[in-house]
Amino acid sequence: MKFKMFSVVVGTEACIASCPFCVSGVKPNKENLQEININWRNLKIAGNLANRSDIDTVMLTSRGEPTLFPNQITEYLKHLKEFRFPFVELQSNCIPIALNKEKYENYLKEWYNEGLTTITISVVSHIPEVNKKVYMPQNKSYIDLPDLIKYLHGFGFSLRLTCVCCKDMMDTPEKVDEFIKFAKQNKVEQVTLRPVNDEFRRQSATDWIKENRLTDNEKEKIKEYLENNGTKLLELERIGTIYDVNGQNVCISLPLNKNTRDTSPENARNLIFFQDGHIRYEWEMEGGILL
């Protein structure tokens, strides 16, 4: 089998945010803050399989917020080194880091030294009030995003702002244009626009998504804006299209759903390692399992 991406699951479903579109959305508690032991033998098997697919990026990701488990991130980075992936990415809302820089300072240094290249910051907008509504509705304000970007750049990380596009948040070419300008001003290396995925959600998320997903027309207008204002750089099959928009890298990604599935074993999308040693090629369909 051949895969395009390699995802490694960190932590649990615990997250300090509670996004209405989240697959899990579980608040941290005593149980879910317990680290799950990692099956290192099977990580080796998954890593070797990823190498055989010539995968260039491994993504540390989670069903919740991975930075709630900083020691596990360090351990993974140490073990992943032997596979020599050129790009090692961490997907996070980065809220725990922004709220407690003292705690994360040494971790971030260590992660950089252990090979982490890129931090992908999840947002729904560049506007603090809009992000606050989704990520931190109980707090007085959202984190200082420009300050966080500067802080993470200071360690040497490359950054990607990944925007989950929802109704009234990131649904027009004008808002996308402002978002791209914000990224450029803050020297963010990459931007991903990902229309909120409307499949395989817990019931409350399904209802919210039905109300708040982009229409086909809205998606089309955003695509048109990128076509007219950018230069198409790369077409990544079943992943998305990358543009240069006034010097800013922008990817419009395809949602992970049945339409992006290819049943050819030579063209599988995602190789996913779970801490208990299971290796899967589907996030949601339990039958998509190798080990």
Residues of this chain that interact with ligand SF4 (CB under 6 A) are: 15, 17-19, 22, 25, 64-65, 93, 122
Q: How far is the CB of 13 from ligand SF4 (least distance, A)?
A: 8
**Pairwise CA distance, residues 267 & 4, whole Å:** 7
In contact, 265 and 2? CB cutoff 8 Å: yes
Q: How far is the CB of 15 from ligand SF4 (least distance, A)?
A: 3
Q: How far is the CB of 145 from ligand SF4 (least distance, A)?
A: 14
**Would you say 194 or 280 has its CB closer to ligand SF4?**
194
Q: How far is the CB of 256 from ligand SF4 (least distance, A)?
A: 14
**Would you say 128 or 173 has its CB closer to ligand SF4?**
128
Contacts of 32 (CB under 8 A, 6+ apart): 12, 13, 14, 26, 64
Q: How far is the CB of 161 from ligand SF4 (least distance, A)?
A: 14
Residue 41 buriedness (CB in 10 A; 0-12 / 13-18 / 19+): exposed
**Would you say 42 or 197 has its CB closer to ligand SF4?**
197
What pairing do the DSSP bridges indicate for beta strands 3-9 and 268-273? parallel
**Pairwise CA distance, residues 50 & 150, whole Å:** 32
**Would you say 39 or 197 has its CB closer to ligand SF4?**
197
Give how far Cα 185 sits from Cα of 25, 163, 238, Å: 32, 17, 30
**Pairwise CA distance, residues 148 & 146, whole Å:** 5
**Pairwise CA distance, residues 7 & 232, whole Å:** 26
**Would you say 129 or 216 has its CB closer to ligand SF4?**
129
Contacts of 66 (CB under 8 A, 6+ apart): 10, 11, 60, 72, 73, 90, 91, 92
Q: How far is the CB of 65 from ligand SF4 (least distance, A)?
A: 5
In contact, 288 and 262? CB cutoff 8 Å: no
**Would you say 19 or 271 has its CB closer to ligand SF4?**
19
